[in-house]
Chain A
């Protein structure tokens, strides 16, 4: 094995940090993140409150931890949901070819051109804003992305001789898609999923910032940011902390995705 690319290592460390924090928040936070303490509001960092308290005296560090959990959960569920549907559609398009492929890919194009934000606002208007709305909206934008990546990779596999051999051995399209195509395109799909994870975290923050995602009291980096906005001059640190968290998570997943692509894409390997 050649030396691992630095972006992979940095990305993996940042992702581990975010995921670890999210996991830890399930069992332990320094304080109850919903506990109010109006007299102790805007406390500076101290041994008791590591990053101080917010405008309602809640512990900022605890809120950030729980928000990490929410972010990761939303990203995970929505990317998996969108990924499974998108990959299935991509495999179907590639296996059937012809009209079916055209129709699926044109629909994917339309989905691609449809802004997630608009979709989320629409959903929120119908069902009321919630974390669920954010999940569905993000999953929705992920479907065409995965459908495209899957179809492009799968189309290459369908021209391989081993697929010809499998067809010659009487294997059907479904069996070939499952046994020969999917395992051989796992790498690009995983890379795409990692990159989509970063986008999903950013999207969740944006939706929550606009009030379309996590609802109070569930903490979310995006909502913390929007609440801190009005207090920018009074307590700028309240905006800076969640901002840094978003940057860390997005950067981590982006770098990890890039790094994974570098080690799995043979074309890039040869260039190095």
Chain B
């Protein structure tokens, strides 16, 4: 169980995450969506206590009741793998190229659970079966370059599950994979979360994957959680101007037709995410927002219902 209240991550001159508040209970499946650079990865790292040395974390973050803001590396180390675990975007880069994958998966069990080599190996085998790796005995002895991307991601999932974490954070787990493989990995994650009543934080810019994987979703922009709610609700009837922009920027039969007249170009949100330090102090989206008000730039919109936007009352 993770509870964040006013969780803020400062990086250099800017805030990579600004006053994020949410609860992740056992079995919850929560998506975090947004463009790259919106702070979603930094939020994920903050939940692991792995913000870069230059970053400063403030606010409140409790994991199973323990306050983790200001906790030292040693405290975090005891939590990682057993309470919170994380998998990363690049399954190739996330495996040590000169270590057999079995060894990599066995390591945390020997360190955290005090298992001997044989017991750890047996459990690794069990985990490989659970995550659907064919011929697990042979896989244990292979090196990362000998297995495919999808299998590598499964190995990493097995690694993350090694010590039965309460919450699994998946940072863009499917982005580097082919569509088919990505779909199966997504299904695997959902199945694991359900079977183990494990919290799943699914960080992605792939809205389709998020729609499949999660029940609730948080939309991030410029470090703010701008909108949140049930996944079906938010992705079908987005209310925040940024979410609306994000959704219409996605190719779908509907808006392909709508834009066919304009030389077939896909609608996109004009402009790009500005660097952290240059974000407006008020609404982070001001400057790119199509329905901006005068107050937006300078004044931070309060949380109203499911989103933070000065237009919230009008029902946007």
Contact = CB atoms under 8 A, between A and B. Distances in A.
A binds B: yes
A187 to B, nearest CB: 11
B77 interface: yes
Contacts of B93: 160-162
Given A168-B81, A180-B99, A161 B108 contact: no
Interface string B62-87: 00000000000100011111100111
A266 interface: no
Contacts of A180: 96, 99
Interface in B141-182: 156, 159-160, 162-163
Given A175-B107, A180-B99, A184-B98, A170 B90 contact: no
A153 to B, nearest CB: 14
A165 interface: yes
Interface string B85-115: 1111110011111110000100110011000
Contacts of A161: 88-90, 93-94
Interface string A175-216: 100011001100000000000000000000000000000000
Nearest to B50: A167
A191 B96 CA distance: 22
A167 B80 contact: yes
A225 B48 CA distance: 63
A98 interface: yes
B6 to A, nearest CB: 24
B53 interface: yes
A170 B112 contact: yes
Nearest to A173: B73
Contact of B111 (A160, A164, A171, A183): A171
A180 B99 CA distance: 8
A172 B50 contact: no
Interface residues of A, number: 20
A171 B50 contact: no
A168 B107 contact: no
Contacts of B85: 168-169
Contacts of A179: 96, 99, 107
Contact of B86 (A97, A168, A175): A168
A170 B159 contact: no
A266 B89 CA distance: 24
A175 B111 CA distance: 9
A180 B97 CA distance: 9
Interface string B258-285: 0000000000000000000000000000
A97 B94 CA distance: 22
A169 B77 contact: no
Contacts of A175: 107, 111
A66 to B, nearest CB: 41
A97 B48 contact: no
A80 interface: no
A84 interface: no
A162 B159 contact: no
B116 to A, nearest CB: 16
A159 to B, nearest CB: 9
A166 B108 CA distance: 8
Contacts of B96: 162, 166, 179-180, 183-184
Contacts of A171: 77, 107-108, 111
Nearest to B44: A168
A54 to B, nearest CB: 51
Contacts of B80: 167-170
B94 A170 contact: no
Contacts of B160: 168-169
Nearest to B110: A175
A170 B99 contact: no
A24 to B, nearest CB: 36
A98 B52 CA distance: 12
A173 B160 CA distance: 18
A165 B94 contact: yes
Contacts of B48: 167-168
Nearest to A172: B77
Contacts of A184: 96-98
A164 B41 CA distance: 13
B94 A172 contact: no
A162 B103 CA distance: 13
A168 B162 CA distance: 11
A162 B92 CA distance: 9
Interface of A: 97-98, 160-162, 164-173, 175, 179-180, 183-184
Interface of B: 48, 50, 53, 73, 77-82, 85-90, 93-99, 104, 107-108, 111-112, 156, 159-160, 162-163
Given A160-B93, A161-B89, A165-B86, 5 more contacts: A165-B159, A168-B86, A169-B159, A173-B73, A183-B99
7 contacts: A165-B86, A165-B95, A167-B48, A168-B86, A169-B80, A169-B162, A171-B108
10 interchain residue pairs of minimum CB distance: A170-B81, A161-B93, A170-B80, A168-B86, A169-B108, A161-B94, A165-B94, A162-B96, A169-B81, A161-B88
